[in-house]
A and B are shown apart, each in its own frame.
Chain A
Amino acid sequence: MEDLIFAAAKVMSVWLTVVFTLIVLPSVFGASLGISELYMRILVKTLEWATIRIQKGVKQEQAMALKNSASSGIIQRDETTMEKEIAGLHRVDFELSDVFYFSKKGIEAIVEDEVTQRFSSEELVSWNLLTRTNVNFQYISLRLTVVWVLGVLIRYCLLLPLRVTLAAIGIVSMIVGTTLVGQLPNSKENRPQKGGICVANHTSPIDVLILTNDGCYAMVGQAHGGLMGLIQRSTVKACPHVWFERSEMKDRHLVTKRLREHIADKNKLPILIFPEGTCINNTSVMMFKKGSFEIGGTIYPVAIKYDPQFGDAFWNSSKYDIVSYLLRIMTSWAIVCNVWYMPPMVREEGEDAVQFANRVKSAIARQGGLTELSWDGGLKRAKVKDTFKEQQQKNYSKMIVGNGSTGNPTMGAE
């Protein structure tokens, strides 16, 4: 029995030493041993091989169909607007067949919903040997299955313990040594400055890790419970952050006031805000809430794009909680992402908060290669506003009434 404990202790100490020397120490000093790069090269080669095997195994037409459905959907949306369709029929007033347009649009929405699509994880064109992305693929060959089993072993028995160890070390040292957190000087070009606001598109809590890797920020966000809450409370000890209850956030004036106070104090770190308000699956950027853009100050936009080939970073918080999410992340191959720091933007004369928000959103979407949607991220949880419907109704009314020919010239359109 003693021998067993001895052996276990020995293994643990060896393991910890290896981890410390190879990973923790170099990263503390900012150096790199090149292990990550080597790992990534091997990974890319393996995935390419796997893709080729799959393509051989699947019939050609099927592969093409899968490719299409993954990237652009099943139907080709008819982009003609109401005006064009009705004008094309050469008349200017109501016809019984006007319902055709709305029916078709409605059915298109049912078959392929632009919005809820964004809230489920991106479908990959080729499989990256993780079961969770295995939506479209069936059993292909024995060799592939063997590689997959090997992959599972590597991910769960090597990568997972490794990452858990690192996380444990990280969290413990953070909680114990929060008073020691230094303030890095921000002299790099385009990095957000003190008294500024940094906005970025949101995919997962990892966005925060990545940005803070490169600079110090004050966070704004929803106060969570559990492990996340513990982490949040300890960050506050080091430098001021602004954590909200989600119910408090409904009181927009209170929020704006707190944020204004924060940036007015030139000693405080730049605020990091995700104006979408929730995690999106990284194929598009949704509506930016205007609140962050009403505060004033300089906005530093940042675009973040994850490479989905190695692991899916998207956190569907209505489906997974933080721990199962972390488990998924730690058993993925890797999380690879591109971060672009963009030149600062300021609200221009005569531009209101909404227009400013849209301008920043377009810039971020363009930089990151994401599509732009004007839908509200809150649709993940709530229903849509009526203003969009009213807009459609307005357009339609203008057409059937605004052009006269109601038969009664004394009545004008509204």
Chain B
Amino acid sequence: RHAAATPHSLAGALEQGKPQTPLPDGSSRTGLKRLESQTQPLGKYDLQGIGELAVNPLGDRIINAFFKEGEDLTDFRSFIRVLAHFRPVEEGKSNETGRPEPMNSRLRKLQFAFQLYDQDSDGKISRDEMLQVLRLMVGIQVTDEQLVCIAERTIQEADQDGDGAISFEEFSVEKLNVEQRMSLRLLK
């Protein structure tokens, strides 16, 4: 336990390194490098120790989003990369062609959410994968039959190419207010 940094100290390190622009997405080389050298690897166990995350029905899935398949440790850079998805979208920034997609764009936020469903990463949300997420969110409160009902109805409504699963394009259709619902609000 001693070897890894706590999430809180990491967030604090974030503040120290760049008092004006938290959540760097690589925009300041020196700041990021200094933080990288200061922090030690972050383990799944550390994130699991956060109380608020442990009571979040999707807590485990969110934690897994930070780690590569089968690994238990992540480094600072990768950690920040995932957090960067939740950076608020700045007003008035047009989508410049030729630049790589920023981490906090609408597309990336949707991808993060999609990935919570699509555990086998085949690019589609199958009926089973949807059932798994539903089960996580409702716990023991709802019967299997009801959940199957809900899942099938959802797929029916969203599926456009008739393959019985939801692809990313079908998922992204018409999601209201993604930018606000998937961004943290940072204090100035």
Contact = CB atoms under 8 A, between A and B. Distances in A.
A383 B12 CA distance: 23
Interface in A67-107: 68-69, 72-76, 78, 85, 89, 93-107
A109 interface: yes
Contact of A397 (B8, B11, B138, B181): B138
9 contacts: A69-B187, A75-B186, A94-B154, A108-B52, A113-B51, A135-B16, A389-B57, A400-B138, A406-B146
B27 interface: no
Contacts of B146: 401, 406, 408, 411
Interface of A: 61-62, 65-66, 68-69, 72-76, 78, 85, 89, 93-117, 120, 135-136, 375, 379, 383-384, 386, 388-390, 392-394, 396-398, 400-401, 406-408, 411, 413-414
A252 B120 CA distance: 46
Given A116-B50, A406-B149, A389 B142 contact: no
Contacts of A398: 141
Contacts of B137: 98-99, 102, 393, 396-397
Given A97-B176, A99-B58, A103-B116, A113 B19 contact: no
| 7 tightest Cβ-Cβ pairs between the two chains A and B | A393-B139, A109-B52, A397-B141, A106-B62, A388-B55, A76-B185, A65-B19
A400 B137 CA distance: 11
Contacts of B62: 102-103, 106-107, 110
Interface string B70-99: 000000000000010010000000000000
**Highest count of chain A CB atoms <10 Å: which of B16, B55, B117, B178:** B55
A402 to B, nearest CB: 9
Contacts, number: 192
A97 B56 contact: no
B113 A99 contact: yes
Nearest to A393: B139
B79 to A, nearest CB: 9
Nearest to A385: B55
Given A102-B56, A389-B54, A392-B57, 11 more contacts: A75-B186, A89-B177, A96-B175, A103-B113, A113-B8, A115-B51, A384-B54, A393-B138, A396-B138, A397-B138, A408-B149
Given A66-B19, A411-B145, A112 B181 contact: no
Contacts of A100: 113, 178, 181-182
B107 interface: no
Given A74-B14, A74-B187, A383 B49 contact: yes
Contacts of B6: 116
B153 interface: yes
Contacts of B182: 100, 103-104
A54 B74 CA distance: 37
B62 to A, nearest CB: 4
A113 to B, nearest CB: 5
Interface in B165-188: 166, 171, 175-178, 181-188
A407 B146 CA distance: 9
B116 A75 contact: no
A75 B187 CA distance: 5
Contact of A78 (B116, B166, B176, B185): B185
A96 B187 contact: no
B139 A389 contact: yes
Contact of B184 (A104, A135, A393): A104
A115 B20 contact: no
A307 to B, nearest CB: 23
